[in-house]
Amino acid sequence: MTDLFLSMKNISKRYTGVKALDRVDFEIARGEIHCLVGENGSGKSTLIKIISGVVKPDSGARIEVEGDVILHHHSIDSILKGIEVIYQDLSLFPNLTVAENISLSQTIASRSKIINWRRVREISEKAMARIGVHIPLDEQIDNLSIADQQLVAICRALTSEVKLLILDEPTSALTRKEVESLFTVIKDLQAKGIATLFISHKLDEVLQIAEKVTILRDGKKIETLPSRGLTDEKLTFLMTGEKMEYSRYTIDNRHEEPLLEARQLSIQGNFRDISFKLYPGDILGITGLLGSGRTELAEALFGMNPFESGDLFIEGRKISIKSVQEAIRLGIGYVPENRLVQGLVMNQSVAKNIIITTITRLLNKFKLIDPEKRQRSITRWIKNLSIRIPAFDAPVHTLSGGNQQRVVLAKWIATSPKVLILDGPTVGIDVAAKSSIHDIIRDLAGRGMGIIIISDEVPEVFHNCNRIMVMHKGRIIAEFDSTVTTEEEIQNCINMAS
C-alpha cells in the first residue's frame, strides 16, 4: 500500500479566458506537512477548491485519493474521503457556543429533531482531546481570541475522520506565540497520521513548518521542493521570477521640528504613558504582540477612541482630537488592519472607494460633484499607485489583496495627510505586492510625510522603518534605531516580554 494520500495529475481550470491552473501536478503523502505558496492570482485558491470538490477541473484531469480514482468529485465526496478545509474566515457561528460549533456537522448529520446536549459535549470534548486543548465549551465564539477560534475550527474538522487538513492563511491574525501553539497542533496531527496542507504568504513560517513546498506562478507549478535548504530569497525568486532587493530605510531628520509629538498619552485598559516624536520623512515602526495596545494607540491618534490623559502636538501646536473628522482636518490619515471591514466598502466600485475621503473637494458651486474633477482624481490615484483594475466601476472586492490595499492607500493619500498611520499594511498580501506597497510608503516619506507602520512582522519594520518601538501590555518597553540594531535583537525583546 502506497503512503500517497492524494495524487493530482494534469489539473487545469479556465474561467472566461483566464487560465487559473495550467496542467498542474500535485501530491501529498499521509501525515505530510506540505506548504503551498505563490503570489495572489497564482492559482492557490483554485487548487484548494478542486481538492475540496468545490470546483471541478477541466477535462483531462486525474485525481486519486488513497489510490482510488475520483471520477465525479464533489464537496461531500471530499469530506467522506477525509479532506477538510479551514478558510481564513473560519466559517464559525459567532452567536453559538464552542460546543455547538464543534459538534455542528455531527449534529446535522444525525438528522435528529431533538438535540442531545450530552452528545454535543461528548463530541466536543473528544475533538479537543485529540489535540490536547481546553477551551470552555459554553463560551460564545465571539468572546474568544482569533487563536482560540482557529483551534475550535480545527476541532470541528476533527469530529470527522479527517486525513488531510487544509489551512488557508491560518496565521494572518495570530501572535508569534499563538503561531507556535498552532504549529505544535499541526505536528501532533502529523504524529496521528493526518496530513496538513498549509497556505501562507509568511515565508519564514513556511520554512519553519513545512516538509515540502510547492510553488505556483501564473497558474503553473514551478517546483515542489523539500523545505530543507530553501531560503526566503530563493522562495521569493521562484514565486515571482524576480530577485527582490531588500535595503534598509535611514534618514537624518532630527534637526527638524516634529510633525507629531505624543507626551504621556493614556487610556485606561488600553495603553499608558506613551511618548514619542514623529519627524518629517520618518517611518516609525510599532511592533509587539497582538493585544499590546498598538491598534488602540492608532485609533486614539485618529480620534476613534480619544485619549484620556496626556498631550498631543502637531507641528508644535497642542491639539485635542475628539473625532475622526478632527483628525482628518488636522492632517492625519489611518489605514486600518482589517481593510475588508474597516478600510473599504467592498461592494462599491474602486472609483467610489478612492474619492470617499475627498468628496467635498470635488463639489462645484452648486454643491454637486463635478464629473471632471471626479474623473481626474480617480485617474490620478489609479495611475500614481499603479492600481490594476478591469474598470473604474469594478467592485473593489473583485481586486487582489495587493490592489485592494492600494485603493485604501489612495483614498487616504488623496487627503494630503501630514501623518499617515498604517496598521498591518501588508497583512494577507503576497511577497511582490508587499515590496510594491513598501516602495509606495518610502516614496511618501521621501516627500516629507510622517508615517507610522504597525506590524507584528519584525522583518517588515526592520527593513522599512528608521526607528522601531516595541509595545507590551500597553507600554513602550524599548526603542531601536534601525541603523544600529538587528532583527534578532528586536525579536528577542518581543520574546522576552511575552
pLDDT of 109-152, one tens digit each? 788 888 899 999 999 999 998 888 889 999 999 898 877 888 89
Q: Is residue 326 situated within a structural domain?
A: yes
* 386 and 331 in a common domain: yes
* 488 and 340 in a common domain: yes
The answer to whether 28 and 194 are in contact (CB under 8 A) is no
* 298 and 227 in a common domain: no
Predicted confidence at residue 2, as pLDDT, reads: 56
Predicted confidence at residue 83, as pLDDT, reads: 94
- Domain containing 120: what range? 4-240
**Cα 11 to Cα 29, 51, 58, 168, 195, distances in angstroms:** 18, 10, 7, 20, 21
The answer to whether 64 and 148 are in contact (CB under 8 A) is no
Q: Is residue 252 situated within a structural domain?
A: no
pLDDT at residue 317 greater than cutoff 80: yes
Each residue of 218-240: pLDDT tens digit? 999 999 999 998 998 899 899 98
Predicted confidence at residue 427, as pLDDT, reads: 78
* 283 and 179 in a common domain: no
The sign one gets for the Cα dihedral 471, 410, 442, 322 is negative
Instruction: Give the span between the Cα atoms of 183 and 231, in whole angstroms.
Output: 19
The answer to whether 249 and 464 are in contact (CB under 8 A) is yes
Q: Which three cell numbers stand for residue 14?
A: 479556465
* 376 and 327 in a common domain: yes
Q: Helix 371-384 and helix 401-413: axis angle, to 10°?
A: 130
Q: Is residue 245 situated within a structural domain?
A: no
The answer to whether 322 and 306 are in contact (CB under 8 A) is yes
Each residue of 5-17: pLDDT tens digit? 999 999 999 987 7
* 393 and 466 in a common domain: yes
Strands 195-199, 33-37: pairing kind:
parallel
Each residue of 246-273: pLDDT tens digit? 778 888 777 789 999 999 999 999 999 9
pLDDT at residue 202 greater than cutoff 90: no
> Which of 240, 272, 290 corresponds to the end of one domain?
240
Q: Is residue 246 situated within a structural domain?
A: no
* 270 and 222 in a common domain: no
* 270 and 229 in a common domain: no
Q: Is residue 249 situated within a structural domain?
A: no
Q: Is residue 339 situated within a structural domain?
A: yes
**Cα 475 to Cα 270, 450, 472, distances in angstroms:** 9, 22, 5
What does pTM read for this prediction?
A: 0.74
Strands 467-472, 283-287: pairing kind:
parallel
Q: Is residue 311 situated within a structural domain?
A: yes
Q: What is the mean pLDDT of the chain?
A: 89
* 219 and 293 in a common domain: no
Mean pLDDT of 470-479: 94
* 117 and 44 in a common domain: yes
Q: Is residue 420 situated within a structural domain?
A: yes
> Which of 180, 208, 240 corresponds to the end of one domain?
240
Q: Taking CA 381 as the corner, what is the angle to CA 379 and CA 384, rounded to the nearest 5 degrees?
A: 105
Mean pLDDT of 293-321: 93
pLDDT at residue 169 greater than cutoff 50: yes
How many structural domains are present in the chain?
A: 2
Give me the residue label for grid cell 480620534. Answer: 303
Instruction: Give the span between the Cα atoms of 370 and 357, in whole angstroms.
Output: 15
* 268 and 193 in a common domain: no
Mean pLDDT of 184-198: 93
CATH of the domain at 351: 3.40.50.300
**In this predicted structure, which of 265-269, 320-324, 346-350, 427-431 has the lowest mean pLDDT?**
427-431
Instruction: Give the span between the Cα atoms of 331 and 315, in whole angstroms.
Output: 11
**In this predicted structure, which of 49-63, 91-105, 165-179, 379-393 has the lowest mean pLDDT?**
165-179
Predicted confidence at residue 1, as pLDDT, reads: 38
pLDDT at residue 185 greater than cutoff 80: yes
* 477 and 399 in a common domain: yes
